[in-house]
Structures are given as structure tokens and as C-alpha cells.
Amino acid sequence: MTIRSVGSRVSVCLAGACLMVMAAAPVRAEESSPIQAGLQLAIKNAVAETGSAIAEPQAAPATPPKPNSGNIAVTANFELLPGTAYVFRGITQESDPQITMWPSGDLGITLHSGDGGVKTATVNTGVWNSLHTGSSGEDGPTGKLHYEEDYYATLTLGFKGLSFATTFTSYTSPNGSFGTTNEIAFKFSPTYRYGPYALIAQELSGGADGGPNKGTYLELGLAGPSWGLRQKASFSIPVKVAFSLNDYYEHPVTGEDNKFGFFDIGVLLTVPISRISGSYGSWNFHVGGDFLAFGDTTKYFNNDNSTKGLFSFGIGFTY
């Protein structure tokens, strides 16, 4: 994607947030900004039970509503970043952030569930948006709020002890801040303690890394240890580290492909909204933060800062 100058600094205009999915589960935003990857665990960890289809109100139902046991799941999320930069794979998207909003929606369909070699097969499709009031949006050269809109489709296969997800994502910019980038990604998730995973993403056209060549990205991570708290709330500590396998973290000045991208450790608190009936789905409030340490290329794209802190909160819904 194009690198533009904003004020005295370089503003990198590129795509964000590739959404990935675990087997037979609603979408989990993956490998967007580091904080989003942590915050979207709230969807996976939603603790209020999902209800049955919405029906006309009844004065006093004879039996509790049945949980949604069907093969279709709908997930929606809204994140708010007050004064916090949007960071995609270690690269800051905005030189002067104000308020950033991330509305997203996902439709998941379970195609198969059984005892054979392939335990589950799930398809997810959805859209993720980034709305900016700062220098990449309303206060920037375009004067338009809608900085980014991403479309994706994922096929996830679940095996004994492992899930494998393939995702195609098209990163677009409605306000014209960057050109469209298309990418395919593969995610391996062994079913071990702390949720380890490995993600490999290959750019097919355009470029989300700011360099002239199509890059290959590697991310290794852990969903992290988690603890159940009172009233079914949960607390977790996700961790990830990112690398360039080929031409992903190219330095704009030296041209060197620096292999280390960033390290991220986060915290996430998820609280169910129990006052909403399960007949209307599972709702939660979540708040999280991340601490990032950058490599040489990502440090350049972060105003030569070696570290950065991020903060976000939001509401999640699954039905």
C-alpha cells in the first residue's frame, strides 16, 4: 500500500485486521492490530449462553429458552480506541489518532461435525471496518471517516488435536487512503494448553507492509493463560511474536528485510452482560491493553519508538 506523508512524519496507509476462525467457533479477529487480536478473544470466550431464535414476547414462558444448537452462528463486535493508534502487525496506521471505531460482523456455518478423520468443518465470512476521526480519517487529507473495510472468507477444518484454517482477505479503503491488498493466510492451532498457534500470510496483490514486494508474514502466539472470575467473567494474557519470512518488513530507507517484526503481550478482561436474556444471544463487555516491542522496520513506522502501549474496550454479541 502507499506510504503518505502527514505533517512532518510518515503516515503509513495500509490494510488491517485479517479475521481468522477456530474450528466450529464464531469468528475471532486475528492478526489485525495486536490489541484487536487480543480483544477479539472476547468472542471466543463469551460466557453467557446463546439463546434460541428471537420470538414474540411472552408473559411467562413455561420453560427456559433452548440454547442455539443449530449450524449457523452470527457474531458482531464493536471496539472503541479512544486516543489510541490503530496498529496493524506492528505498523501504526495513523500519525495523530483521536477516536477509532471497529465495527465488525461474521456469519459462521458448520458444514460437518462427526467422529471421522475430519471432526468439524466450518465456513465463516464477514466484514471488518475501521472508522477514524483522526489524521487517517475525518481530520486527514480525505476528510472521510471510513478508513478501512475488509472482506474475508475462512474454511476451518478440525482434526484430533489440531485445527487448520485457510482465510482469504481483501483489504480495502473506502476513503482512498490506500490501494486494495489481497492476501491468503493459513493458521495451525494445536489443542494444547494456552492455545498455541502459527499463522502464515502471503500477499497476493498490493502490499500491506509498506514495501515494494509482496511479503510473507509469520506469527507465532498463545491465546495465553486464562482465569475464571466471579460472575463468569474471565481474564487472559495473550502473547504473540511476528517475523518476516520474505520481504514483509522491508525498511523504507535501507531496503533491508528485517526478520523480527514485533513482540506483543496483552491483557483482556471479559464480562458477560447477564441482564440480557439468552433468547437474544450472548452479550459481553470486554476491555484490554497491549504492550508492544518493535524491530528495526516497525520501529521506523512508529516514529522511532521502540515500544508502544495500546488500549481498547468494546461490546461483543454471538447468536
- pLDDT band at 59; cut points 50, 70, 90: very low
- What number is the average pLDDT over the span 140-152? 96
pLDDT in tens, 166-194: 999 999 999 999 999 999 999 999 999 99
- What number is the average pLDDT over the span 58-64? 39
pLDDT in tens, 147-173: 999 999 999 999 999 999 999 999 999
Residue 270 lies in a domain: yes
Q: According to the model, what pLDDT value does residue 32 have?
A: 45
pLDDT in tens, 228-281: 988 789 999 999 999 999 999 999 999 999 999 999 999 999 999 988 888 889
Whether the pLDDT of residue 17 is over 80: the answer is no
* Other CB atoms within 10 A of residue 162 CB: 14
**Spatial separation of the C-alpha atoms in residues 138 and 144, rounded to whole Å:** 5
**Spatial separation of the C-alpha atoms in residues 48 and 35, rounded to whole Å:** 23
- pLDDT band at 20; cut points 50, 70, 90: very low
Tell me the residue range of the domain where 241 lies. Answer: 3-52+70-318
**Spatial separation of the C-alpha atoms in residues 31 and 180, rounded to whole Å:** 17
Residue 61 lies in a domain: no
- pLDDT band at 94; cut points 50, 70, 90: very high
As beta bridge partners, residue 40 has: none
Helix, strand counts (H, E) of the chain = 3, 20
- pLDDT band at 68; cut points 50, 70, 90: low
Reading phi first (left if > 0) and then psi (alpha if -120 to 50, else beta), residue 23 is in: beta
Residue 207 lies in a domain: yes
**Spatial separation of the C-alpha atoms in residues 289 and 267, rounded to whole Å:** 6
Q: Are 301 and 91 in contact (CB under 8 A)?
A: yes
Q: According to the model, what pLDDT value does residue 206 have?
A: 87
Q: According to the model, what pLDDT value does residue 217 have?
A: 97
Whether the pLDDT of residue 8 is over 80: the answer is no
In the chain, the number of structural domains is 1
Residue 58 lies in a domain: no
137 three-class SS: coil
Whether the pLDDT of residue 134 is over 60: the answer is yes
Q: According to the model, what pLDDT value does residue 211 have?
A: 77
* 8-state DSSP, 17: -
Residue 59 lies in a domain: no
Whether the pLDDT of residue 63 is over 70: the answer is no
Residue 62 lies in a domain: no
pTM: 0.79
* Other CB atoms within 10 A of residue 179 CB: 16
CATH code for the domain of 95 = 2.40.230
- What number is the average pLDDT over the span 14-29? 35
Q: According to the model, what pLDDT value does residue 69 have?
A: 67
Query: Which span out of 45-49, 70-74, 190-194, 239-243 was modeled with the highest average pLDDT?
Result: 239-243
Share of the chain above pLDDT 70, in %: 78
Q: Which grid cell is 270?
A: 471479559
Whether the pLDDT of residue 47 is over 70: the answer is no
- What number is the average pLDDT over the span 89-94? 94
**Mean pLDDT across the chain, nearest whole number?**
82
Tell me which H or E stretch contains 299. Answer: helix 296-300
Residue 167 lies in a domain: yes
Amino acid at the residue 238: P
Q: According to the model, what pLDDT value does residue 42 have?
A: 37
Whether the pLDDT of residue 54 is over 60: the answer is no
Whether the pLDDT of residue 26 is over 50: the answer is no
Residue 193 lies in a domain: yes
